Amino acid sequence: MEIEALKVCVVHEYFDELGGAELVAISMLKVIKELGHEAMLFSASEVNAIEIKRKYGFSLDDIIVRSNLKTRYLTFSEKVLGLVGLGKAARMRRLLAVNHLILEAMRNGCNVIIETHSNVPTRADISYIHYPATRSVSESTNTVDKVYNTIVKVIAKMVSKRSAFVLANSTWTANKIYEDFSIIPLVLYPPARVEEFLELSNKKKENIIITVSRFSPEKRLEEVIRIAKDLKEFTFYIVGSASEDSKYLRKLRNLKESMEVNNLELKPNLSFDELKELIGRAKYYLHPPLVEHFGIAIVEAMAAGAIPFVLKDGGAWFDIVAPISRELGYSDIHEVIDKVRFLERDHERYSKLKESCVTHSKKFSFDAFKSSFSKTLNHIMRVKFLKSIMQVENS
């Protein structure tokens, strides 16, 4: 059954930062256009097309963009939430905006609506969930945080609807969605830039261990510094985005100096080419001890030929690393010291793991994403518009 070109719309509440969630939304738009459909994007924030082109290599020129779609209520609520910090109130902001944006998409005659940012099942045809909004990213004993998390959970349950289709970024996330909403989603892995890193896999490796992470307290990057102190035969690099006045980055620099860790460098805000160059030289990738819902940086490091070590929890473990070998997981990050030294002695095992990492990374490429997403989208279109398709075929 052939499906004629339809209007397919992506709702992504905020583009305040360009991370993994934004990559998924932009990649969906790219696939929609490549399939020959009309693509629209709806957002309550500004959408910086220049920055999106620079970071993701995708132009929004052929995409109809509806941005800054804020009601007076939404504008007022943002001012109130701004008192506690818009970053901290991100889950609340997205939940307050989602239904308004979906209605806007409906008013614009969208045939299929895909919602990618509220992290709850919605009235959209497809809801893509990175991590349920009903759950906080990290546990807090702070009373204010506890009250906020309780309010968000209540609003999330109020906002959530029965989506026609729910997608999750990992099997681990899918399990959390099932626990909170009694829905079993399909898994659609985010697209990593695998193709760009594969060319580095045969490059000569050096005694380098790299960590790619936003410089933020919940990332627990202090632990990487402590490992570097005990693994002096390697040079460590921590690479990631950071604001110019980052208190956490200053804290890490002070810790590095006080512990006299001379074999570790902090590299904030590198260009993509600089990041690629470093990853291409690294033997190993060390993820800090936090539960990662997916982990695009881990996949890209694997594609470049770096063997990863991650915490035995989260999507990064269950979906990415555990299928390669359980010896690449840790319960205590200090286990990594012995694991690295073992592989340095066993060159045959090192080579086999490296080859497996490169091969497994291809499962998370853009082509794999496009194939899986296209099948889901075409299935939804056939079910929704079966009568129209049959009328065209019988005419």
Question: Is the pLDDT score of 32 beyond 70?
Answer: yes
Sign of the CA dihedral 340, 357, 19, 119? Answer: negative
Tell me which residue has tokens 């899918």: 174
Domain locations in the chain as residue ranges:
7-190+366-394, 194-364
pLDDT digits (tens, 9 = 90+) for 215-273: 988 899 999 999 999 999 999 999 988 877 789 999 999 999 999 999 999 999 888 88
Contacts of 348 (CB under 8 A, 6+ apart): none
Fold match flag (7-190+366-394 vs 194-364): yes
Contacts of 178 (CB under 8 A, 6+ apart): 184, 185
Please answer whether residues 11 and 159 qualify as being in contact, where contact means their C-beta atoms are separated by less than 8 angstroms.
no
Task: Give the Cα-Cα-Cα angle 380, 385, 389 (nearest 5 degrees).
Answer: 120
CA–CA gap between residue 369 and residue 28 (Å, rounded): 9
Please answer whether residues 215 and 249 qualify as being in contact, where contact means their C-beta atoms are separated by less than 8 angstroms.
yes
pLDDT digits (tens, 9 = 90+) for 300-344: 999 999 999 999 999 999 999 999 999 999 999 999 999 999 999
Question: Is the pLDDT score of 89 beyond 80?
Answer: no
Structure tokens at 273: 């080419």
Q: What is the pLDDT of residue 157?
A: 60
**Alpha carbon of 273 to those of 6, 97, 266, 301, 316: distances in Å?**
37, 36, 17, 14, 24
Q: What is the pLDDT of residue 85?
A: 55
Higher-pLDDT residue of 26 and 152 is: 26
Structure tokens at 74: 């939404």
pLDDT digits (tens, 9 = 90+) for 155-198: 656 666 666 789 999 999 999 999 999 999 999 999 999 999 99
From the options 3.40.50.2000, 3.40.640.10, 3.90.79.10, 1.10.3720.10, give the CATH code of 194-364. Answer: 3.40.50.2000
Mean pLDDT, the chain, whole residue set: 89
Provide the residue type at 378 as one letter: N
Question: Is the pLDDT score of 363 beyond 80?
Answer: yes
Contacts of 260 (CB under 8 A, 6+ apart): 229
Which overall architecture, per CATH, does domain 7-190+366-394 show?
3-Layer(aba) Sandwich (3.40)
CA–CA gap between residue 147 and residue 374 (Å, rounded): 41
